[in-house]
Amino acid sequence: MSVTIEETADLATCLALRHLVFVAEQGVPVEEEADEHDPAATHFLARDGAAPVGTARVVYLGEVAKIGRVSVLPGYRGRGVGAALIEAALAHARGRGAPLARLGAQVQAIGFYERLGFTVASAPYDDAGIAHVDMERAP
């Protein structure tokens, strides 16, 4: 496996990956997956050779870098792809001078984000039928 992470303008590929993970696998309603932030967001794409295997985005809300829509195909989970996507997003936020990175983590992924230096910053809440918490760290 030789996965690369790059900033991308290929929104269609990112949306297709997100659809596979969030809509087909996790049951997120299709109308809730894409949103008004996608056109202005900075998107990242993980590829194994030419094959897209994961994606994430960063939306800047004031001084906060909101990392979201982190999705990795099942066969690539647990292999460092998600962490590499988060690191790319954090590096982008640092480059923009954002003092804070925030994300909405699915509750079962809290440990993953804690290992990347994030701390829980909210009580659990429902997002698209899945329990989430907000997590934060300096980029």
Is the domain spanning 3-137 CATH 3.30.10.20? The answer is no
pLDDT of residue 2: 87
Task: Identify any residues that bridge with 4 across adjacent strands, giving them in sequence order.
Answer: 47
- Taking phi over 0 as left and psi of -120 to 50 as alpha, with beta for the rest, 39 belongs to alpha
Predicted local confidence at residue 102, as pLDDT: 98
Instruction: Spell out the per-residue pLDDT of the chain, length 139, in tens.
Output: 689 999 999 999 999 999 999 999 999 999 999 999 999 999 999 999 999 999 999 999 999 999 999 999 999 999 999 999 999 999 999 999 999 999 999 999 999 999 999 999 999 999 988 999 999 999 9
How much is the pLDDT for 60? 97
Helix, strand and coil in the chain, % to nearest 5: 35, 40, 30
CA quadruple 131, 78, 38, 138: dihedral sign: positive
How far is it, in rounded angstroms, from Cα 48 to Cα 52?
A: 6
Q: How far is CA 115 from CA 13, 34, 81, 89, in A?
A: 28, 28, 14, 16
pLDDT for 1: 66
